[in-house]
Amino acid sequence: METLSIYAPRLVTKRQSFTPGHRACSGCGEALAVKLVMKALGKDVIVVMATGCMEVISTQLPYTAWEVPWIHTLFENAATVATGIESARKALIRKGTPLSKAKIVAIGGDGATFDIGLGAISGAFERGHDFLYICTDNEAYMNTGIQRSSATPFGASTTTQPAGKVSFGQGTWKKNMPAIAVAHDIPYVATACPSYPFDLMNKIKKAVAIEGPTYIHILAVCPTGWRIPADVTIRLGRLAVETGVFPLYEVENGKYTLNYEPPQLRPVIDYLKPQGRFRHLTPELIDKIQQRVSQEYARLKEKVTQ
Ligand SMILES: Cc1ncc(C[n+]2csc(CCOP(=O)(O)OP(=O)(O)O)c2C)c(N)n1
Ligand SMILES: [Mg+2]
């Protein structure tokens, strides 16, 4: 095990087309996710990015962190722009124009994916375009100041639903975005987290090798919005998986596989306690979250055994 931890970094390419020197906060799990995604994708790729933290920190004129063709889109239409590129290329190739077969990848935050861009994503999946959509989910609208989204977990304090005398924070359960992607009957859906870098990179490579629409949902720990120290990002991502809050799984042509199954799930309090956004939660609310997580995990496992 020790030998593996010494040599593991050598198994990852040093070449990266999302370069250092960008302006992400220290400990940003979303920037780490994008870095791993780009290491897995290499250079032969066109990236379409919805506005959000990742765009803002990587493209402050006159600088850019991108060494591949990269296109800014509005908050709501990354999937549409990606599918437009794919269709235009198809048309040009039909006319005999020699064009590269670079992979087309759209990246959006949870606000761009769960909320404002959902219709565009649904249309792109339904029309069957050949592209990968990646959601980097930090569970709120972080770029504009930690406002709640439909990805914000129950009980989390945000600037639009702050915990206090009259509210315990977010009062709704997180929308199940991977399940919505699966419902489109697309060939590949997966969840990933940068705390499991090889799993994440393998899933990216697998997704772009598949023809048709594919979706990867990445949990991106956000020290600023989750109110945690910058050096616990990786550990917190692991706790999300080990408690069952964010299971790592794949759905290939409707078939579910659980990629990491701890012999026993840790209690969710291990994940909630280090985070300032959950600091106010009462034992009753923590129990309620535990029940929900156990229930959802059991539902997922039922699908895996099918
Ligand atoms: C139509 C529209 N509404 C609002 C905004 C302002 N806006 C830009 S980025 C953003 C939040 C992005 O949140 P998310 O997609 O979760 O990405 P994150 O910043 O968290 O990475 C908002 C509200 C916008 N650009 N366009
Ligand atoms: Mg977000």
The tens digit of pLDDT for each residue in 98-128 reads 888 899 999 999 999 999 999 999 999 999 9
Q: How much is the pLDDT for 3?
A: 61
- The answer, yes or no, to whether the previous bond of 62 is cis (omega within 30 of 0) is yes
Which two three-digit tokens encode residue 153?
């977990």
Residues with CB under 6 A from ligand 1: 30, 51-54, 75-76, 108-112, 138, 141-144, 149
Q: Which ligand is nearest to the CA of 160?
A: 1
Choose between 98 and 220: higher pLDDT: 220
- DSSP states of 223-281: HHHHT--GGGHHHHHHHHHHTTSS--EEEETTEEEES---SSPPPTHHHHTT-GGGTT-
Which two three-digit tokens encode residue 215?
């979706």
| Residue 65 CA to its chain's centroid (Å) | 19
Segments making up each domain of the chain, as ranges: 27-305
What is the rounded average pLDDT of the residues 176-202?
98
Would you identify the CATH topology of the domain 27-305? Rossmann fold (3.40.50)
- Which of 32, 37, 53 for mutating ligand 1's site (highest number of atoms within 8 Å of CB)? 53
Name, in order, each residue with C-beta under 8 angstroms of 187's C-beta and a sequence gap of 6 or more: 210, 211, 212, 213, 214, 252, 253
Q: Which of 115, 226, 251, 262 is nearest to 174 (CA)?
A: 115
Q: Which ligand is nearest to the CA of 143?
A: 1
- Which of 51, 148, 175 for mutating ligand 1's site (highest number of atoms within 8 Å of CB)? 51
Residue with CA nearest ligand 1 atom 6: 144
pLDDT beyond 70 at 4: no
Q: How much is the pLDDT for 304?
A: 95
